[in-house]
A and B are shown apart, each in its own frame.
Chain A
């Protein structure tokens, strides 16, 4: 037994520790709050997220070399700083967007905010994982809170059904991840990502157990991302959950899932890049195809956005399978921009949902311009950006990914991707058509509180701004690898 243990440096994990302490404090405070003081829980949760994000950014200033602590279980590198701060800010935005919706439906119980905070904590643990065990535990912490959140509205049977589906399939994915990890452990004798990576390099090329373990890990990662053929849960969960929960499920966890891809594939299985690249290529093409074709037939906006997510995941995978720093940076940029767009698009849906009425179908969007011009403009902006029309940020995201793919000499793949992007542009533009050129079915004015309005405008402005001046963010993404 190695008795020369020195206590780990807690400093790099300070944001996580702070968030956990706040969760516990809020849990106790909420217990003793009378119902009419519930907005205090909301305020504290938002504050906790923002302070944590600030701490992450502060730690990230001037961070050159990755900091490792807790016997290699925890890694703080630039990638972690970018993803963690983004995930925290996005989760905060989700709380803001969802506030009025939840209050109107009496869903704004303290547990909702706590579960959201738990899931944010899980994302942070996952993003900073330097070890298979912490990666798995972070993933479970995040996913378990999300399952519970999807089921949160007990009155609605669709929510329970979606949660059940999500939970069962998620459990299978976790099982596959563990299975793959245990095989990798068997071969390399370690669970630490860096050690695993170096031991894989020592193994003979084409070692069968390694390939088997890798396949299981890739399948689990694909499930968490929602790539075809592991996408089945996505449309049902998006549709069944309450819109604020859909917003959460569709945004920040994608950042965490991206971190998982990076930690497992790009860092842990660097030596197998030639093998997982083929798998990712198949999944990317399938996701692009399904995401662009099936979405055309959707009438429910949440379902439509779910299929659009699948298509975007296809693009994200393209960046990853370039398997070089440039490709990873492109994928990171893509996922950040995607999360911004998804946040905004679902945000519009939340604003449109009023007391006793859910805005879910395309019909609800018809003639939005007549009801609320600024909202229609913002929605149109998000649709253009998702379609990849310049000068929005979505354009640059797609461009960077395609650039990275072409750079690796995979021109055909790039052409296929562009083809599907064009097909998917059809349904994005159809939404825009509905916004402007159809008569409204429900003519009532849209009511939204001022801060939500400003948040949505800021969200849209950011998508536009990053489309015009993307340099800063691109540089940040490039420096993460």
Chain B
């Protein structure tokens, strides 16, 4: 009962936050609502005892991805008027697509039904879903797991290939050389007789 109340409360917040993401006038507010949406989804996952996924969602999305996102949104001066311009024009199309998806989902979920009924399987006493996840990830799913890591490697290579510019005339420091500097490289001590004014 209490779980159900929580579920509906979190779901309401989630939907509200998601709506606010697209309706907020200020892009920074949009990003913050997105953060809220991630948080409430994490809470929903906690309700079905998927605490590992919930924490990782917060850690990765809220803690890293969204911070960088916010960083970019703050840095670029988003022209709201220009962004708004197309909004009313594409609203009917967007609403149409949303209605279609809702209709489809209701047909699929409400109708002849999915095979996996009855919700999540409760953990056995003393079981840990991190251990359980780890066990399937490194045995049954080891192949997709490795491919996913290759995709990440590819993302690094692609990002560097597309953004690293070796401009001529760029001033760079070599910290190794800087640290190795000795007084005699910079300072010359002269010995000379003192001059007297006469």
Which residues on A are within 8 Å of B, measured CB to CB?
A: 1, 3, 5, 8, 13, 20, 24, 27, 70-71, 73-74, 109, 111-112, 114-115, 118, 121, 125, 131, 133-134, 137-138, 140-141, 144-145, 147-148, 151-152, 154, 183, 186-189, 199, 204, 207-209, 212
Contacts and interface: CB of A to CB of B under 8 A. Distances in A.
Nearest to A134: B144
Interface string B131-151: 010010001111110011011
A401 B111 CA distance: 39
The interface centre, meaning the residue of B111, B150, B155 with most chain A CB atoms within 10 A of its CB, is: B150
Nearest to B156: A27
Q: In the A-B complex, list the 3 residue pairs whose CB atoms are closest, starting with the nearest.
A: A111-B161, A148-B158, A70-B143
A151 B163 CA distance: 11
B161 A152 contact: yes
A144 B147 CA distance: 13
B183 interface: no
25 contacts: A24-B153, A70-B142, A73-B144, A112-B161, A114-B157, A115-B158, A118-B154, A121-B150, A133-B141, A134-B143, A134-B147, A137-B147, A140-B151, A141-B154, A144-B151, A145-B158, A147-B158, A148-B154, A148-B161, A152-B162, A187-B115, A199-B115, A208-B108, A209-B111, A209-B113
A54 B141 CA distance: 28
B154 A186 contact: no
B143 A115 contact: no
Given A20-B150, A186-B115, A109 B161 contact: yes
Interface string B107-143: 1100111111000000000000000100100011111
B160 interface: yes
A131 B158 contact: no
A5 B139 contact: yes
B144 A137 contact: yes
Given A1-B132, A115-B154, 16 more contacts: A112-B161, A115-B157, A115-B158, A115-B161, A137-B151, A141-B151, A144-B158, A145-B158, A148-B158, A186-B115, A189-B114, A207-B112, A208-B112, A209-B108, A209-B111, A209-B114
Nearest to B114: A186
The interface centre, meaning the residue of B112, B113, B158 with most chain A CB atoms within 10 A of its CB, is: B158
Nearest to B136: A1
A49 B74 CA distance: 45
Given A71-B140, A189-B115, A118 B157 contact: yes
Given A71-B140, A148-B161, A186 B108 contact: yes
A39 B165 CA distance: 21
B147 A125 contact: yes
Contacts of B111: 208-209
Contacts of A114: 157
Contacts of B160: 111
Contacts of B116: 186, 189
Given A131-B144, A151-B162, A111 B112 contact: no
Contacts of B142: 8, 70
A145 B155 CA distance: 8
